[in-house]
Amino acid sequence: MHRFRFAPIVNKYNSPYILVRPESGEYDEDGVWQPAEPARIPLRGHFQPVNSNLQQAEGGKYTEDDRALYTTNKHKSGDLIEYQGVQYIVDAPEDRDYRDVIKYFVKKVVVNDPV
């Protein structure tokens, strides 16, 4: 199968973002739990607004604050990323075996979002 090479085109429009990986803490010499700082990994990708047709078609699952991320980096569903000071959670990868760029939907993290 022929793979389409979109990475050189997308790289022209890439901007930096940060993958935030939680680290486990440790107990100090007094036996008190000390949480570790999360690892912040700098990456590059291209962010686009979510299509309004998709917002309606998915039953309102996506809002205008959510984004589509195009990148060559691999992410898992549930990864926390930060872009321009706003945190997003990777929702669903759209992995296609015929291209080298992966499209992810990322949802904006809302602090007081109901569970």
Asked, for residue 69, whether it belongs to a domain, the answer is: yes
Non-local CB neighbours of 65 within 8 Å, separated by 6+ positions: 108
User: pTM above the 0.85 mark?
Assistant: no
Asked, for residue 113, whether it belongs to a domain, the answer is: no
**Counting Cβ atoms within 10 Å, is residue 77 exposed (0-12), middle (13-18) or buried (19+)?**
exposed
DSSP secondary structure code for residue 42 in this structure? E
Q: Are 45 and 16 in contact (CB under 8 A)?
A: no
pLDDT digit string, tens, across residues 61-85: 777 788 889 888 888 888 999 999 9
pLDDT > 70: percent of the chain: 75
Asked, for residue 55, whether it belongs to a domain, the answer is: yes
Asked, for residue 57, whether it belongs to a domain, the answer is: yes
Q: Which domain holds residue 41?
A: 7-108
Q: Are 98 and 37 in contact (CB under 8 A)?
A: no
pLDDT digit string, tens, across residues 21-30: 887 778 888 8
Is the pLDDT assigned to residue 14 strictly greater than 70? yes
Indicate the number of domains in the chain: 1
Asked, for residue 82, whether it belongs to a domain, the answer is: yes
**Counting Cβ atoms within 10 Å, is residue 112 exposed (0-12), middle (13-18) or buried (19+)?**
exposed
> Where residue 12 sits, what CATH number does that domain have?
2.40.10.270
